[in-house]
Amino acid sequence: MKYALLTFSLLFVACANLSKNSIKEGDFSIKRGVFKNQSWDESLNFDRVSWYHELSLNFDLLITKIDPTSPFLNWLSPSEKALFNECKDHFLALTYHLDSDRISKRMFYSQMNEQGYKDYLIPNFARALKLHPDFEFLSLQLYQVSLLCNKDKAGELEVTFPSFRTVKLSK
């Protein structure tokens, strides 16, 4: 009887937890790269923040600051490099949303804009990133690749979605 009561209690607590919104944070890397006749062993390291409702991933953000000396910048076209160089502060963001009626990419980019960061599509970089073996291995095909650029100043980034806690993105 005690065993059945304990099992029922654990199941009840576990199922009760599934009805909550949660945020998971982590990181991952794109390892190595190639551009024309150049190759490098460096990694592009992303912070990952995922917003869940129960077991459903509502919004996923992969974000990193790219060092101006990173060999991954070779993937930028000349116009993308010019844009990158105009930024006083910049982030590379990969975004995914399940349902735009819940949490949308536009909600995220609107918050970035309010904090002084404009989003730009960087198709040449996105193409190179999407052809990288790690990109497919990590199942990132549905993610949008953008450059977040602040031409005035560096600042801290925060994201707040309804019914979730605020997440600070800057390190």
Q: What is the mean pLDDT of the chain?
A: 86
Higher pLDDT, 119 or 135: 119
- pLDDT, one tens digit per residue, over 70-91 is 999 999 999 999 999 999 999 9
pTM above 0.75, yes or no: yes
Q: Domain locations in the chain? A: 20-168
pLDDT score recorded for residue 169: 85
- pLDDT, one tens digit per residue, over 8-27 is 554 444 455 545 899 999 99
Q: Across 16-20, 53-57, 120-124, 136-140, which has the greatest mean pLDDT?
A: 120-124
**Which token pair is 14?**
């576990």
Asked which of 21-25, 138-142, 151-155 is least confident by mean pLDDT, the reply is 138-142
DSSP result, 23-85: EEEEEEEEEEEEETTEEEEEEEEEEEEEEEETTEEEEEEEEEPPPTT-GGGGGS-HHHHHHHH
pLDDT score recorded for residue 113: 94
Integer Cα distance of 59 and 61 in angstroms = 7
pLDDT score recorded for residue 10: 47
Q: What is the rounded average pLDDT of the residues 144-152?
A: 92
